[in-house]
């Protein structure tokens, strides 16, 4: 009879340990998922800021080209959210110009490649796209 009673104690102790290990594993998993969600949120926020910077610089570059068709780019604009770079503007004159912009915020970089059909009498954009790698521009 004593042997059966002692055995129940061991079963109970092992059950408590098993449940404890499962509870710790679940808690650790939830903490890790929360941390990863926060990190992902920060990356998404930086990416959004980088795109906004790139679009802002693109508008600046288009305005500069509209006012002076000899504008060659090669500018950087820095603000509290990051930095954007206007690469060398491709083409010459009033038609077939290419503008490439790179916006960076934190570890995120977004690139815009804009192909202009003409500048005057009004800017006519042939394509405006986000790209992973520039194909119509060169790095200087």
Q: For residue 78, how many other CB atoms are within 10 A of its CB?
A: 11
Report yes or no on 88 lying in a domain. Answer: yes
Q: Residue 113 is part of a domain; what is its CATH number? A: 3.30.1300
Give residue 89's domain range: 2-131
Report yes or no on 123 lying in a domain. Answer: yes
Report yes or no on 20 lying in a domain. Answer: yes
How many domains are there within the chain? 1
Residue-wise pLDDT tens digits, 91-125 = 989 999 999 999 999 999 999 999 999 999 999 99
Sequence-distant contacts of 27-30: CB under 8 A, at least 24 apart? none
Report yes or no on 101 lying in a domain. Answer: yes
Report yes or no on 48 lying in a domain. Answer: yes
Report yes or no on 122 lying in a domain. Answer: yes
Residue-wise pLDDT tens digits, 48-74 = 999 999 999 999 999 999 999 899 999
The answer, yes or no, to whether residue 139 has pLDDT greater than 80, is no
């Amino acid at each position: 009879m004593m042997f059966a009673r002692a055995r129940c104690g061991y079963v109970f102790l092992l059950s408590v340990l098993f449940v404890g290990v499962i509870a710790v594993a679940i808690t650790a998993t939830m903490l890790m998922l929360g941390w990863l969600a926060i990190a992902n949120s920060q990356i998404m926020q930086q990416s959004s800021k980088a795109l906004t910077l790139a679009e802002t610089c693109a508008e600046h570059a288009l305005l500069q080209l509209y006012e002076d068709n000899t504008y060659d780019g090669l500018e950087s604009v820095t603000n509290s959210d990051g930095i954007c770079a206007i690469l060398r503007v491709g083409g010459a004159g009033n038609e077939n110009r290419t503008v490439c912009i790179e916006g960076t915020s934190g570890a995120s970089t977004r690139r815009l490649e804009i192909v202009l059909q003409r500048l005057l009498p009004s800017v006519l954009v042939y394509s405006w796209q986000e790209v992973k790698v520039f194909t119509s521009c060169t790095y200087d």
